[in-house]
Amino acid sequence: MAQQADVRKYDEVERAFDAAAARFGGIDILINNAGVGVFTPVAHMSVDQWHDVIDTNLTGVFYCCRAVLPHMKKRGGGWIINISSLAGKNAFPEAAAYCASKSGLNAFSEALMQEVRHDGIRVAYVMPGSVNTNFGGHQTAGAEWKLSPDDVAEVVVDLLGHPSRSLPSRVEIRPAKPPISGKR
């Protein structure tokens, strides 16, 4: 079922999840993977750029989690996996909004995990390092050393397969052999 929603608009998010729950009888899994990055010095970043990053990467996750929690509680549990970034703990220049959003996402994930774990809802966050995508306008050619999107997806699938008695709540994944001069 395809359902369009802007994660920065709570009414659209709520409507999408309500439609999915009605169609499938509930919601078991939420993967928060929407994300944007603006890579420019703070002095040159516009207020709108700041809001685009924070509202998508952090507020959007809050909206999605808030919208699915009643559905998951009704079913007796579920999984919420938030895709973060190592930038959330390893800040770097010209990425203040992005790093702040991912740092906030990490703290949000930790707090939410503690709030809902006794409801059978497991919350985890995955912090990939450099991933070979066009994210942020970076070229993919010559970046074979980076993680592939499939590497990150495999971590998510592995989390979903964990026995219900365990809660791996934070996973870091990084390229095995980055360039020696690489910062991330």
Q: What are the structure tokens assigned to 66, written together?
A: 């808030």
Confidence of residue 141 (pLDDT cuts 50, 70, 90): low
pLDDT exceeds 70 at position 82: yes
pLDDT tens track for 61-70 = 999 999 999 9
3-state helix, strand, coil in the chain (%, to 5): 50, 15, 40
Average pLDDT value for residue range 34-42? 94
Q: Decide if 28 contacts 75 (C-beta within 8 A).
A: yes
- Residues with catalytic roles: 98
pLDDT tens track for 103-138 = 999 999 999 999 999 999 999 999 998 888 877 565
Confidence of residue 72 (pLDDT cuts 50, 70, 90): very high
- Name the pTM for this structure: 0.92
Q: What are the structure tokens assigned to 118, written together?
A: 């006794």
pLDDT exceeds 70 at position 154: yes
CA distance 53 to 81: 19
pLDDT exceeds 60 at position 183: no
Q: What is the pLDDT of residue 179?
A: 86
CA distance 55 to 53: 6
CA distance 93 to 114: 32
Q: Decide if 126 contacts 82 (C-beta within 8 A).
A: yes
Q: What is the pLDDT of residue 40?
A: 96
CATH top-level class for 22-163?
alpha beta
Q: What are phi and psi of 177, to 5 degrees?
A: -135, 75
